[in-house]
Amino acid sequence: MTSRVSCNDCSLSPICLPLAVRADELEQLDSIIRRGRAMKRGEHLYRAADPFDSVYAVRSGALKTYSVSEDGEEQVTGFYLPGEIVGMDGISTAHHVSSAKALETATVCEIPFDRLEFLSTRIPSLQHHFFSLMSREIQADRELHLLVSKKSADDRIAALLLSISARHKLRGLSASTFRLPMSRYDIANYLGLAVETVSRTFTRFQQQHILRVEGREVEILNRGALCGAAPQEILDQPC
């Protein structure tokens, strides 16, 4: 069932919407958004080659994006948490170049892109906001390539944990204690590591009292040490 909560009432609006949008402009944006699409774990939001007609704001849960190589190998390309926008990969090609799947029970808000484009011409702050989002996508892709091509397993895992920590803080949640929505396999795939390497690194970080890990629950015990393990040029923000 579609939720009746408006953007103005949503606790995530400061993240996924530009703060400069006026109340009357927010009403225009509010009118085009289709809310509350529920997704089960493992359900696809879209698949590669599907026509591109909307972008999506994650409202609850988490999603991953992935591509499939010519030999059928899956490559995870991103993780999306509440308040973040997914689906912009299709803007330049008119079709999605990756697939998006729910990592757990999730809900998304659908934003038809043709109507968003029209509103963006009338609301400069909205246009600037989505240009910024696209720029972040490009930067994240560059940082991932840098991470998997040059950095150690410790570097890669520390950087991912600090990124998730910063994203939780942005939502007003704890930056030190959080649940990872993705599996060890997805982490390994995303970071270009073996699953066993990911498990050993988490174990070593626990032994060094950098982390406390119970299943997917993570607590950062020594942020300084974790920051020291992460390459500073790819962190979302300074430690």
pLDDT digits (tens, 9 = 90+) for 122-175: 777 777 777 777 777 777 777 766 666 767 899 899 989 998 998 999 888 999
pLDDT digits (tens, 9 = 90+) for 206-235: 999 999 999 999 999 999 999 887 665 555
Q: Please tell me whether residue 136 adopts helix, strand or coil conformation.
A: helix
pLDDT at 238: 59
Please state, rounded to an integer, the average pLDDT across all residues of the chain. 84
CA pair distance 18, 24, nearest whole angstrom = 14
pLDDT digits (tens, 9 = 90+) for 73-105: 999 999 999 988 899 888 888 999 999 999 999
Note the Cα 153 to chain centre separation in Å: 21
pLDDT at 184: 96
pLDDT at 1: 41
CA pair distance 8, 31, nearest whole angstrom = 11
Contact 76, 19 (CB under 8 A): no
Contact 37, 108 (CB under 8 A): yes
Where do the domains of the chain lie, and which CATH numbers do they carry? 7-146 (2.60.120.10), 151-234 (1.10.10.10)
pTM across the whole model: 0.84
